[in-house]
Structure formats: C-alpha cells, structure tokens
Structure 1
C-alpha cells in the first residue's frame, strides 16, 4: 500500500467511523470488566441431576389423568402471624396446581391456631384442611442439653452476625423438621408430602401429579434448588456424620451421591444441600431405621442447639448417603421462588405455551454464572468490582469490606439487604468474612 492510499484511508469518513466503533467497543468491554459484578457459583442442579438418567414426567400421560390418588399431603409449618404470607403461597399453589388434584393440607404450629387462621386458609381450597399443635417433646430441649450453654452459644453466634445465630425458635424448628415432623399424629397416615411455606411463589402451571410420579418411579426425594450452607452454622456437623458412618457403615448405599456433598471422597463436606423449604418426598424414608438412628445420633451430639444445624443439610446428607441418585429427582418444571432465590425452567417450551411467567434469565441456576469447583450453587458469592469508598455508608448493613488487589470483596447477610436494590440483592455472606 503506497503513501497516497494510506493517507486516503486515514482521511476516509468510513475508516474514521470504523475506528470510532472499535474504540467504543473496547471502552465498553473495559468498563464492564472493571465495574460490573463478576459472580461465581458452582455447577447447576441441571448439570448434576438433569442427565440422561433423568425421568421426564411429560412422557407419562397417566400422570395427567387425575384418576389414581396417592396417599399424600401438603405440609405447612406456620404461625398465626404468618396468615397473609401463607394465604399468598396457597393462592398461587392452588391456582397453579392443587385445584386440579385437591390434595389435603396439614397445618402445624407450636401453639393453637386461631379460628381466623383456620377460616382464612380453609376458604382458599376445596381440599381437606387439618390443623395440629406440635407436641411439646418435639419442640423443646431434650434432657441432655445444657440450656445455659445453649443460650451462651446463641449470644456468641449473634455477636458474630451469623444468620439466625441468636434465634431459639429457629433451632427448635430445624430440629423438628429434621427429626419429628414425619412422626406427628396428623402425618402418620400419609406416605408422601409436599412442603409449603409462607411467602413463596409458584410461577408455572403444573398439570400432572408429582406424587403419582414419585410413587410410580420409586423416588424418595424431589427438589428444585440446591445451594451451599453457611459454614459457621455447622462447624462440627460433618465430623459427627463421619463418626456415625464409621459406626454404621451398613447404612451407606453402594450407589450413593457422595460426590454431591463432598469434593474429596468424604473427607470434608462441601456444604452442598437441597433447599428444604421445597421438598416433595417419601415420608417413610425419614421413618426408616437408618434415618431415625442417624437423626438420634446427631441430636445427642447437641449440634442443633450448641451450633445451628439446619434441617436442609441434615436431610441432604442423609439422602446423599442412604439412597441412590436414581431415587432423587430434580423438578425442573416447577418454577419456585423463596426469596432471594428462584428456579425457573430454561426450556422455551415452558414459556412459549404460556405455562410460565418467570424470567429464566434471572434464574438462580443460569449457566452464565457457573464454575466447575462444586456440584451445587453457592449462596456465598464474590463480587469482583470496583466500588466507591463510601459503600459502607450507602449500605450500612454490609458487615465486612476489605481491599483485595484492585477489587472489593463484600460480605453481607442477604436478609438485611434492601430488596429494591438490584446490585445489593446479589451480595450474600462470604465464607471469609472480615469485620470492618
């Protein structure tokens, strides 16, 4: 190319426009890299359980006929002051699914339900509703717990900002859901349950019977979301689990799902668990000897009260160890939200037919936020972004900030984050939290 041609190109409006476009593109990419949050999660539930072995309910037309009725129930652990939150959940649950099948409800509380509560919930469904009080022995301290030490541990965890660290009732709830709900007199007649909680959303129509699906395929446990537990709430749980397994190796299934809960063959717990506020499961699995002995062993260790063991990791570890992957089902087609997380099916067919109103782009499991370090999602994420120094003043609930190279690492408890702030809503407590 001669000098005259080069000069002509440099003066050409088209060439100058091309250079300008390239500069804008480079600047935009640089800005996004420097100022946009980079979120790192583990692999999706879709990758772990939505494999070629996954059973597709849509292929079994008998599930849609509403002829065969399974011995199943909707279980709701709720308090009187959560009336309108559970009414919201029930209205969606009925409209999306249960008005077609009319499975009964059992409402449980640690105190008597008010007549207002009974009237305002039973009026939302044509199904049978029952209301029960939890027996005191299922919602109280066992005799081997030092209550003064338990109170001291609660104060200590609360001072560290651990979520629900200071709550006594939360511990009773976790222990009840871990070891007793399936033995409540109102639930003893049933074989399967679907757990329903206040303030949850169902965002897709469901036209088949998941209970019949579970029964026909001999499934034990169904879930929609898996994530990581807060490590500070269960410091000795895995150590206790390993002791139990060593003493009772006969209970561990040969085709277990150890890889779901451990990245090193069982040496450590990777904190993965099924989010148990949504469960469709076989009640007789929890009533079985292996699980009953497992729970009793954990209970005697005191971790539900001296630490803050949740029913989600307890259930998940038991499912992973005592059953097979083929008996665990990922309900991909049930769009479910329990703030701050949601599952929405990504397949176009669910949305093209008008069955769903959720946005798969906001899915907790979106594939653009993957890494290969774990088998489930983290509820602990790192934002690699340059933030102003005044971030602590703007968001005083952020409990820890520290400078790390050219980026900030933020840690905050999700319940304290303003829900109307999209940026803040993604900030979850980090493992390596540091106080300011």
Structure 2
C-alpha cells in the first residue's frame, strides 16, 4: 500500500510539473508576442537593414544599372582627381561602376588621360549640347544682366555668374537626357573637391532598387531666399494647373510649415545625390521643369537645382521613397555629414570629426527631416546639435 501511495504521489507531482511548464511556456509566448508587437509599432520609418553589408572577400557583387556622374571643367582636374581617388578608395574599387564626365567644352587629352587612369570602371567623356547650356529664346538677356548686377550689389554668392545659372538649369532639366546617360537608371553625383569620410561597404544603388527608393541625400540645408524669391509662387501655379501632381503621401511637411501655402526654404543639398533618373524623365517632372523654365527664374533670379530637385521630390514622390544615407560620411565646402553613431563611425572606419557633423545644427534641416519622418535619432545626437 505504501509503494502504491508513493507512486500515486509521484504521478500527481508529474502532472503538476507538466501543467506548470505549459503555463510558463504560454506566458513566455504572450510576452514575446507583446514585445514584438510593441517593437513593430515603435520601429522607426527607415531601418538599418536597408544597408546590407557585403562581404567583399567571399561574395560576388552584382552591379546595378548605374553610374557615377560628374559635371566638371578642364580646370577642375585637380579637384575631380581628389574626389575620384576618395570615392574609389572608399567605395568603387570594390564595385567598379563607370564614371560619366560632362562638360560644356571638350575635355582636354590631359584630363581624359589622367582621369581614365584613376577610375576602376570605364571613364566616359561627354560634351553638353549647346542648346542645353545657353539662353533660351524667351530670355531677355538685358533684363537678366540687370538682375545679376542687382544681386551682386546685395552680396549674393554667384550673383553675377552666368555659367553658374547655366549649370543650375542644366542640372535641373537636362543632364539625364545626355546620350551617355541614357543606358543608366541610377546615378551618384560627385563634384570636384569633395571628401568621403567612411567606407561604403554596401551598394547605395542597390538600396534604391531593393527598397523602392528614388532620391537619396546626405545633407539638408536652408536656401537663401534672395536667390529664389518667386520660385514657390511658380510651384503653386504649377500645382494649381496640375491638381493631381502632388502625391497623396508626399513629404510636403519637410519643405513647408503650413501644408504647402509657403516654402520654408529646406532642401536637400544636391552636390551629393544618389537617385533614380527615371523620376527626372517622368512626365510630371518634365512638365514641372518646363513650367519653371518658362518663367525665366533660372536667369532673372538664381534658382538652384537643389531646391528644384528637392521640391519636386518632396511633392511628387511618396515620402518613403526619399532616403537619408546616414552612413556615408561626406564633405562639400564648409558642411559635412559625419555619422555620430559610435558603432557606425567605428565599423565604417570613418575619418571625420563628429563635431563637424551638420545634421543637427541650426542652419541644417536635418532635425526637421527626422521629426516629419518619425525617424529615430542616434542616442548621442544632442552632443552634436544646436539646441
């Protein structure tokens, strides 16, 4: 009897152990489900998985239908060689994308020889058609000259430069039409005398294609109002004539503080662009550029391609198609994007000073971009911000 009683107790205890185990497993599963749901809800709009680091030692890297593009002159040889060497070392020596160089005058043999030896892909040299780098018939050149002089008296940078205006108009509405660029979909714009501070061990072109991104930037900034006093009026006029042009999920709140009534001057700094030329080739952008061009603002004022591109991207694209490349350390002139996240800075072998990062400074539109896109800021961003 005693043995039977012990067996019954052991059997009973075993049942309770199983029951307790099942209950514990159920609670654990519910906890995990809650955590996952909460993480999904609080997840920022743009994720780190967007960047798939490539193991260059073991992987065969497929190339996208893309090129690196530079608009430069013969006298820019020293500056563009510096930019080429920098980007080749940090990125393209592992990917071997072609470079396309465009000039409104023929490139010299010296330029072509030295540059060709610097790039790991094929170097291609193109002459810009005269009709794309000249005054349209509808421009009153006397009036344009008077307006340039007025802006020069105001001390505005590039105020009296005709070539600067031709460049801005060309970058706004023509570069993607050049025969050398017709075979490509994506481009990375690189200018003379720029620096790339971090290793780029992933393919930014693949980021665009795989995640349906159209326009990528590193630096955002406020434009000088004196250079574009009537630009937004022309934009609103276009939208009035084309009420379906603005995307329902646009990023208008990045470029306007009042839902599009006025322009807050924020724009992506277009000296760095990784973008999809199919957007510039689209009907909505083509109509938009033609509308702006017909006003004469590129010559009577000093409209830059940066606000033109930025306004178009912010209005006509789905907001999720605009991408901040926050791991590409970059410098142009006095402004830099230096990743302030410690892990990114170390793992990408960045050489920049985090204190030089412009993203969260007062004249940058970076904080606004983070706010309107619900993007998660680096944990230590306040160390490098103007608060």
Q: TM-score, normalised by structure 2?
A: 0.81
Superposition deviation, residue 91 in structure 1: 0.6
Residue 120 of structure 2 corresponds to residue 114 of structure 1: no
Is the alpha carbon distance of 1:349 and 1:58 closer, same or farther for their aligned partners in structure 2, counting shifts above 3 Å? farther
Give the alignment partner of residue 175 of structure 2, picking from 181, 184, 189. Answer: 181
Distance (whole Å) between structure 2 residues aligned to residue 117 and residue 59 of structure 1: 35
Pairwise CA RMSD of aligned residues?
Answer: 2.0
Distance (whole Å) between structure 2 residues aligned to residue 92 and residue 309 of structure 1: 30
Residue 80 of structure 2 corresponds to residue 55 of structure 1: no
Distance (whole Å) between structure 2 residues aligned to residue 271 and residue 59 of structure 1: 30
Is the alpha carbon distance of 1:279 and 1:63 closer, same or farther for their aligned partners in structure 2, counting shifts above 3 Å? farther
The equivalent residue for 2:295 is 301
Do 2:50 and 2:207's aligned partners in 1 also have CA atoms closer than 8 Å? Answer: no
Q: TM-score, normalised by structure 1?
A: 0.72
The equivalent residue for 1:159 is 153
Is the alpha carbon distance of 1:370 and 1:319 closer, same or farther for their aligned partners in structure 2, counting shifts above 3 Å? closer
Is the alpha carbon distance of 1:119 and 1:58 closer, same or farther for their aligned partners in structure 2, counting shifts above 3 Å? same
Give the alignment partner of residue 345 of structure 1, picking from 328, 332, 339. Answer: 339
Equivalent position SS for 1:86: helix
Superposition deviation, residue 218 in structure 1: 1.0
Do 2:219 and 2:366's aligned partners in 1 also have CA atoms closer than 8 Å? Answer: no
The equivalent residue for 1:73 is 67
Do 2:189 and 2:273's aligned partners in 1 also have CA atoms closer than 8 Å? Answer: yes
The equivalent residue for 2:215 is 221
Greater C-alpha Rg: 2
Superposition deviation, residue 71 in structure 1: 0.6
Deviation by residue 1:176-225 (Cα, 9 ceiling, x = unmatched): 00000000111011000000000000000011111111111111000000
Equivalent position SS for 1:143: coil
Is the alpha carbon distance of 1:321 and 1:114 closer, same or farther for their aligned partners in structure 2, counting shifts above 3 Å? same
Residue 85 of structure 2 corresponds to residue 91 of structure 1: yes
Equivalent position SS for 1:342: strand
Deviation by residue 1:387-423 (Cα, 9 ceiling, x = unmatched): xxxxxxxxxxxxxxxxxxxxxxxxxxxxxxxxxxxxx
Superposition deviation, residue 60 in structure 1: 3.1
Superposition deviation, residue 62 in structure 1: 6.2
Residues 236-255 of structure 1 mapped to structure 2, 5 A cutoff: 236-255=230-249
Residue 284 of structure 2 corresponds to residue 290 of structure 1: yes
Give the alignment partner of residue 143 of structure 2, picking from 139, 143, 149. Answer: 149
Do 1:63 and 1:213's aligned partners in 2 also have CA atoms closer than 8 Å? Answer: no
Equivalent position SS for 1:140: coil
Distance (whole Å) between structure 2 residues aligned to residue 164 and residue 251 of structure 1: 32
The equivalent residue for 2:368 is 375
Do 1:107 and 1:129's aligned partners in 2 also have CA atoms closer than 8 Å? Answer: yes
Structure with a larger share of its residues in helix? 2
Distance (whole Å) between structure 1 residues aligned to residue 46 and residue 367 of structure 2: 20
Do 1:155 and 1:166's aligned partners in 2 also have CA atoms closer than 8 Å? Answer: yes
The equivalent residue for 1:197 is 191
Do 1:57 and 1:63's aligned partners in 2 also have CA atoms closer than 8 Å? Answer: no
Give the alignment partner of residue 130 of structure 1, picking from 124, 127, 130. Answer: 124
Distance (whole Å) between structure 1 residues aligned to residue 114 and residue 69 of structure 2: 17
Superposition deviation, residue 59 in structure 1: 5.5
Superposition deviation, residue 288 in structure 1: 0.1
Q: Which has the higher contact order (CA 8 A, sep 6+)?
A: 1
Residues 245-284 of structure 1 mapped to structure 2, 5 A cutoff: 245-284=239-278
Distance (whole Å) between structure 1 residues aligned to residue 141 and residue 284 of structure 2: 29
Structure 1 segments, 4+ long, off by >6 Å, are: 370-374
Superposition deviation, residue 63 in structure 1: 8.8
Deviation by residue 1:362-409 (Cα, 9 ceiling, x = unmatched): 211246x599997269xxxxxxxxxxxxxxxxxxxxxxxxxxxxxxxx
Superposition deviation, residue 126 in structure 1: 2.3
Q: Where does structure 1 lack aligned partners over 5 or more consecutive residues?
A: 1-50, 378-436
Distance (whole Å) between structure 2 residues aligned to residue 213 and residue 372 of structure 1: 23
Equivalent position SS for 1:227: strand
